[in-house]
Structure 1
Amino acid sequence: MRSHRLPACVTLGALALTGLAACGQKTDKSQKIAVSASDSACEVARTELPAGAHTFSVTNKGSKVTEFYVYAKDGSIKGEVENIGPGTTRDVHVELAAGEYESACKPGMKGDGIRGKLTVTGQAAALASDPKLAAAVATYKAYVSTEADALLAKTTEFAAAVKAGDTAKAKELYPVARTHWERIEPVAESFGDLDPAIDARENDVEAGQEWTGFHKIEKDLWVTGDVSGDARVADKLVTDVTEIVTRSKSVDLSPVQLATGSKELLDEVATGKITGEEDRYSHTDLWDFAANVEGSKAAVDALRDALTARDPKLADELTAKFAAVDAALGKHKAGTGWKSYTELSKADIKELSDVINGLAEPISKVAAVIAK
């Protein structure tokens, strides 16, 4: 947690509620907030918090893989941790200003989840009051803005090819457009209402909901070869991406979100792209794989000055681990793009998995260092 001062001395009861030891003293940033998740419950140990940085430690006591989210009042995601297997515990770091929030556990990783109220009060110096962290946020936001513009341009071209029935052109543009999406996926995913419409796979769609977005068109391009019925889906994709671009240019990012976003991108690789299930029809998974790694590195590079000042050993380790990933991935270049996933051998997949796991370990430490 970050430090903050109360407007006046308060009672011991109020101090206990906020987790402060005495009037005006700093909060204990090392104290994690335990979350007990099950298939039917989401118990957060503390639901009234002081403003600042917090760590939620989520233990899955259920039988289904789950996720944990912290939502702002407008529905945007302030922090998340996915793929929490039964019997495992994972942490998520979040910086919260005063206001009302919601926590959510999502057993089975679907639906709105089991929600609860979180109330944050008081004031705390924002992490971005550190000039190095403020510069990091500004640098990363510029990166997001550039990638968002490219995403819209290439998605518009892709949609036009689909509507024209030019399947060859659409197939060529599909992985290119998705590259820009995958580079900024944590920011795009923070707008929870749009991400499923754009990027849901067929098995992610709940009963009664329409399947739209990139993967719906992907299936039609590579499986049926017929996109004649996809004009409306293509138009909706452009509309949804346009909205993502607009929101991403004005989103308020915390330095902690850069760090957690970098880790989320690697998790995307480790749990989806490395298995070949993301682009299961086109087998263009390596395009997404590479884009996730590039996006992760962009976030870490933006934080590098602050990270080097706080933990130079970790900064050096990240440089070496990213280089190892780039070297392993570079073996599978094909022209200006990437090989089909189907061309990878089991040894290739293992090598890529090993270097990603090797990078994921130090990446997992960045948020805690930045939140200090």
Structure 2
Amino acid sequence: MPIRDDFQDAPPPSRPDAPAPDGRPVRRVRRGWVLFAACAVVAAAGGGLAVALASGGDEPAAAFVGVADGLRHTAVEASSSADQCGKGWTDPRPGLQVFDVHNVATDAAEVYLTDSSGALLGEIDGLGPGTTRPIQVQLGRGSYTFRCLVEDTDAVDGPVVKVAKGPAAGGPAVSPVNQHDVIPPTLTYQKWVADGFKGVLGRVGTLRAAVDGGDLAAARKAWLPAHLAYTRLGGAYGAFGDLGGAIDGTDAGLPDGVHDKAFSGFHRVEYGLWHGESAARLKAPTDQLAKDLKDLSDEWSTTRMDPLDTGLRAHEITEDSIQLDLTGRSDFGSGTSLATARAGLDGTAELLDVLHPLLAPRDPGLPGLDAALTTAEKDLDASREDGTWRAPDSLSRPERERLNADFGDLAERLAPVAVIFDIRRTS
């Protein structure tokens, strides 16, 4: 969903959030965490995606079998030389095992293990010179190759290694996507966002007219549809820039909090509507909200979403909902943060829909993801009372636990989507 900066108060353990050049937080997920989460999903579902367990610390290379994890370990090298890329794999065997990859080059490297079709079984990103990290894979009968991509050098493929015995198929593998694959769905989604702005502007116009007319009851009624229409555009927030923060930011980091002059946008208007401010006092922030949205809509025709981020956004929308909406931290008086979470699910569904042609042949867990999305939608809808959204703190403990479980499961199932659409270097 659009950038909201109040997560800085309690950054999630999954990643640090470094500021962008303009001072706003950058919503990025560490690949190591995503891959670990993807592995958890694969293990639970019995199938899934290529994963690299690169979460361990760098350590000296070693060749050993049957270490503490009980798995077979093989020490191999990463290098810019085809002769050395994958060197050390001389006794190929099937089954679950670990390759301890040691970078003998003088620069950092990416390392992929691929099968004969080019599908990825495992990867390591940012392997420092002289360091070692593991790739855990399940191998069946077939031919495999290590690919080494050392910084500032061409990609090289090591020798083809054949596993002659064992099961016919190995563990999870995924065909990588390239930037050209992701451009068409990104353009489709960008057009959908452009069309969505029309609805947002119309609803904000209704809100503005109510405030201008002094009808605060009508303004409170109009606020939520306008905010939800904007929230549904969530997959595009990375391209919204400063205007995104002005439109849907919070008071986090502002010296005077909700009373700070820099506090603006939907939540500034929300705060005033539900904290007794007069229509006259609300006119300026409502006018500014309408202006910012119109400016963003006008700029959108010349804005280009980054195809590299398309697959990541669906996961981040759910992360934001877990951190902000389910906790009520995004609520400034209306008590509708669960409605915001519901709109975020709509935005996630739209992203998955445009990505479906690329995702379906690559993610065997897609039916489970669709089911998890439906479950979260139904449970959020069930939390309404007489058609009115309830604040998170009004839910019973079982209701809160059910929603937390729904979104936790959904976040795990969305993690492999981010892995699949992580554009990898090919040369």
User: TM-score of the superposition, structure 1-length normalised?
Assistant: 0.64
Counterpart residue number, 1:168: 217
Look at both structures and tell me which one has the larger radius of gyration over its CA atoms: 2
Q: Which runs of 5+ in 2 are unaligned?
A: 1-7, 36-150, 154-176
| Equivalent residue for 1:193, pick from 225, 242, 249 | 242
**Aligned pairs for 1:40-189 within 5 A:** 66-68=16-18, 80-81=27-28, 90=33, 127-130=178-181, 133-189=182-238
Q: Deviations over 1:109-153 (max 9, x none)?
A: xxxxxxxxxxx999xxx93422xx343223312321222211111
Q: Figure out how many residues of one structure are paired with residues of the other and give that number.
A: 275
CA distance in 1, matches of 2:24, 2:267: 23
In the alignment, residue 225 of structure 2 is paired with which amino acid? V
**Aligned pairs for 1:1-372 within 5 A:** 66-68=16-18, 80-81=27-28, 90=33, 127-130=178-181, 133-206=182-255, 210-311=262-363, 313-333=364-384, 338-341=389-392, 343-370=394-421, 371-372=423-424
Q: Return closer, same or farther for 1:177/1:321 CA change in 2, 3 Å cut-off.
A: same
CA distance in 2, matches of 1:366, 1:229: 45
Is the contact between residue 321 and residue 355 of structure 1 (CA under 8 Å) also seen in structure 2? yes
Is the contact between residue 188 and residue 244 of structure 1 (CA under 8 Å) also seen in structure 2? no
Q: Which runs of 5+ in 1 are unaligned?
A: 1-38, 40-58, 93-119
1:261 match: secondary structure: helix
2:263 match: secondary structure: coil
Higher helix share: 1
Shift of 1:211: 1.6
CA distance in 1, matches of 2:278, 2:152: 55
Greater relative contact order (Cα < 8 A, sep 6+): 2
Shift of 1:336: 6.6
RMSD: 3.6
Shift of 1:363: 0.8
Identity rate, percent: 21
Q: Deviations over 1:185-241 (max 9, x none)?
A: 342353331123222223343567522211122111111242321212111111101
In the alignment, residue 213 of structure 2 is paired with which amino acid? A
Shift of 1:243: 1.6
Counterpart residue number, 2:4: none
